[in-house]
Amino acid sequence: MNKQNIYDKLCEIIGEENILVDEPMKNHTSFKIGGPADILVTPTDENQLKEIMKYIKKESIPYFLMGNGSNLLVRDGGIRGVVVKIAQNYNKFEINENIIKAQSGILLSTLAKHIAKNCYKGFEFASGIPGTLGGAIAMNAGAYGGEMKDVVKSVKVLNQQGEIVELSNEEMEFGYRTSLVNKEKLIVLEVKLSLEKGNYEDIKNILDDLTVKRTTKQPLNVPSAGSTFKRPEGYYAGKLIEDSGLKGVRLKGAQVSDKHSGFVINAGGATAQDIMELIEFIKKTVYDKFKVELNEEVKIVGED
């Protein structure tokens, strides 16, 4: 793999202003952790994205697709090949009656604010979920009783054959923290949400209430990737961890939050290795005590 050749070709497709070389992934993850990506690109429209993917696949270049890195732990060796970041450069939206159409790189928090301003209800649950709309669709993100599947009308995707297709809610096969995006390795381009008109004061009250719940119960002031573990059936990961005596436990730069045990945080200078060792320690301790297996919700990628 000749990095210079790849860089030159990608410059032709999206311009050098949208390309970074040997870019530390700690600059692109909410954990503030991660070694360098060989090349990182930030496409601005679906045509650029289509051309990038066509080139990468034709040349068999390894690639990794990401949003704004809020659910991501990149190992200390970084990522080989090309990282395609669909985030702030890909965040346009429009509201037409009760249909909200948005590009996949928009932050859920930003979209929720605009939806609320226009007096549409039903999207309040997503206001505090960190991450982009595309990432939320991929994992059917949810919080406080709502999930993406409840509000999605259709999703425009780029499939593995390089075709752009629009899939209905039913075709998306939404499940608990999963969707067709993961199964078929689809790239989410644009999402249509269907919402009902509501009362602005009522919507604002819900948003304010959820903000208070999050800020008082979650360690939002320190680097993390949100909830570290999926919810095991019949249990809550945070409670299992706390009941195992692990609240506040620290391993080098990694720590179980003393505000919410379901969050592993970067307490200062943590490496990916520190985080992974603490995750394994938590899993073993919880299993030994309760015979319940915890599975990571955070996505771990890259080389050691």
* Per-residue pLDDT tens over the stretch 176-207: 889 999 999 999 999 999 999 999 999 999 99
| Cβ(37)–Cβ(79) below 8 Å | yes
pTM: 0.90
Catalytic residue among 46, 242, 277, 297: 297
Q: Give the mean pLDDT of 105-131.
A: 93
State how far the Cα of 248 lies from the Cα of 102, in Å rounded to an integer: 39
User: Percent of the chain scored above 70 by pLDDT?
Assistant: 100
Question: 177 an active-site residue?
Answer: yes
Each residue's pLDDT tens digit, 226-238: 999 999 999 999 9
Catalytic residue among 30, 154, 179, 227: 227
Catalytic residue among 46, 173, 177, 194: 177
pLDDT the model gives residue 1: 67
Question: 227 an active-site residue?
Answer: yes
258 burial type by CB count under 10 A (0-12 exposed, 13-18 middle, 19+ buried): middle
Q: At what angle do helices 200-217 and 108-117 cross, to 10 degrees?
A: 150
Q: Which two tokens stand for residue 31?
A: 């954990």
* Length of the chain (residues): 304
Identify the band that residue 123 occupies on the pLDDT scale cut at 50, 70 and 90.
very high
Query: In the chain, what are the domains?
Result: 3-85 (3.30.43.10), 93-216 (3.30.465.10), 219-301 (3.90.78.10)
DSSP string, 144-209: TTEEGGGTEEEEEEE-TTS-EEEEETGGGT-BTTB-HHHHHT-EEEEEEEE-EE--HHHHHHHHHH
| Cβ(139)–Cβ(221) below 8 Å | no
Q: Is 144's pLDDT higher than 90?
A: no
pLDDT the model gives residue 142: 86
Question: 59 an active-site residue?
Answer: no
